Structure 1
Amino acid sequence: MGERITITTEDGAFSAYVARPDRSPAPAVVVIQEIFGVNQVMRDVTDGLAGQGFLAVCPDLFWRIEPGIDITDKSEAEWKRAFELFNAFDVDAGVKDIAATIDAVRKDPGCNGKVGVVGFCLGGLLAFLAATRTDTDAAVAYYGVGIDARVAEADKLAEPLMLHIAEEDQFVPKAAQEIILQALKNHPQIEVHTYPGRDHAFARAGGEHYDAADAQLAGGRSLAFFQKHLG
């Protein structure tokens, strides 16, 4: 279903996985990866969005470290590598690469001009920052790690943002969640949903903490949000 495109920046070029909907032109969604690279889970998310009517694009944001990372959450060695990549990753450069992806997608003949972003884990943080630093039309962040340290950036937010927070997230402790909720819950552009009993990556199909019911609930909320703001 997917294809590959190349996105060129001042720093170099990187690839992105693209899935196209049946109808064109369509609104677009940039899918922002977890710490495992553009793996099968991310490609499935991208394909799923195309099936829902969006031009979906998942850029390789680890290209500055090593292009083409594609690992899983199934082995200790892969987890070790994933955290090495996470620690080596330049968040600010990543947001610039997302901005370049948004620009490239807007110019695609298959795009109607509207572009949203959705991110998971590390990508959840990047989706939040894309909402505050880029011209994306709407953003959805799933269990973003590190948002609590950057809530002040919400002052720059001009377009709608949805946050999905797992209440038992091992990577976003209760204290961090409280900072996020207190700072953002009354922001006019931000919609926050919390999921009791859920751990990090509850929407990662096949993952240890996957919960089908809440993944479907969050996915339905995200779809309605994008249909409203990108339609």
Structure 2
Amino acid sequence: MMIKSEITDLNTATGVMRTYVHRPAVDGQYPTILFYSEIFQQTGPIERAAKLIAGHGYNVLVPEVFHELNPIGTVLAYDDAGRDKGNADKMAKSVEGYDTDNAAMIAWVKQQPWHSGDFGAMGFCIGGHLAFRAALQPEIKATACFYATDLHTNVIPNQPGQHSMERLADISGELLMIFGKQDPHIPAAGRAQVYQALVAADKTFTWHEFNGPHAFMRDEGDRYDPQLALLGYQLAFDLFRRNLK
């Protein structure tokens, strides 16, 4: 399916958030996926991933996740300086800011003629966590989380009772949780902690652990695993087909 891309700057509770919109070029109404980047924001690999999803018949929104902390249009490099800046931004932004970002995107999408009424979410790395966070919104019916960081830690600033794992009762849609066994950011004990919490909360989810490193979906650099990436996309598309019209 041919696609088109555009930019919208949305007003949120914490300032203007640039959001990249990739969607089918064919007129019609399609489900919408909120797609969350790594700490580097919309890099080339993230843009290509968003366009791939859009080409399968979805409207895809990619927000600048640290819009409060950077000039509009900021993209961090995949180097030490970019990593350090992104991690500092992660430590500086309160988790509640992501909730108001999500609410702003959902409200805007509901007004668009190309939206079918159904929402999903997806993300890589911290974006996997932010997709999980988006699932707290009642509109989100299906969420694909790829190697979601910090679900098992308290690294992201949280007010008491606001950690994403403390709000599992607010998740009503289906979750797809995908991890790499060789990911040092989410060790086996941390994965087990998240898994056990989801089981205890009686959430609807599927769980996959691949033999792969962190960032195996990123089609740039030496950690990219094309075979695992293809499998990951197939699992995500299956999730969305089953849950979104």
TM-score under structure 1 length normalisation:
0.92
Whole-angstrom CA distance in 1 between matches of 2:203 and 2:195: 13
- Superposed, which structure 2 residues align to 1:158-173 within 5 Å? 158-173=172-187
Give the aligned residue type for 1:174.
A
Give the length in aligned residue pairs. Answer: 229
Is 1:156–2:170 an aligned residue pair?
yes
Q: Is the 8 A contact 1:201 1:207 kept in 2?
A: no
* Equivalent residue number for residue 196 of structure 2: 182
Q: Is the 8 A contact 1:22 1:53 kept in 2?
A: no
The one of 212, 227, 231 equivalent to 2:241 is 227
Give the aligned residue type for 2:208.
H
Is 1:90–2:94 an aligned residue pair?
yes
- Superposed, which structure 2 residues align to 1:4-15 within 5 Å? 4-15=7-18
Is 1:37–2:14 an aligned residue pair?
no
Give the aligned residue type for 2:189.
A
Residue-by-residue CA offset, 1:60-87 (whole Å, 9 max, x unaligned): 12110013221232x2222222222222
* Equivalent residue number for residue 81 of structure 1: 85
Is 1:121–2:136 an aligned residue pair?
no
* Equivalent residue number for residue 57 of structure 1: 61
* Equivalent residue number for residue 156 of structure 2: none
Q: Is the 8 A contact 2:14 2:97 kept in 1?
A: no
Q: Which moved more, 1:4-13 or 1:156-165?
A: 4-13
* Equivalent residue number for residue 25 of structure 2: 22
Is 1:210–2:214 an aligned residue pair?
no
* Equivalent residue number for residue 207 of structure 2: 192
Whole-angstrom CA distance in 1 between matches of 2:42 and 2:7: 12
Q: CA deviation at 1:15?
A: 1.4
Secondary structure (helix, strand or coil) at the match of 2:140 reads: coil
Structure 1 stretches of 4+ with a deviation exceeding 6 A read none
Q: Is the 8 A contact 2:125 2:147 kept in 1?
A: yes
TM-score under structure 2 length normalisation:
0.87
The one of 68, 77, 81 equivalent to 1:72 is 77
Q: CA deviation at 1:142?
A: 0.7
Secondary structure (helix, strand or coil) at the match of 1:17 reads: strand
Q: CA deviation at 1:200?
A: 1.0
Whole-angstrom CA distance in 2 between matches of 1:133 and 1:154: 11
Q: Is the 8 A contact 1:6 1:15 kept in 2?
A: yes
Whole-angstrom CA distance in 1 between matches of 2:13 and 2:39: 24
Q: CA deviation at 1:166?
A: 1.3
Over aligned residues, Cα RMSD in angstroms? 1.7
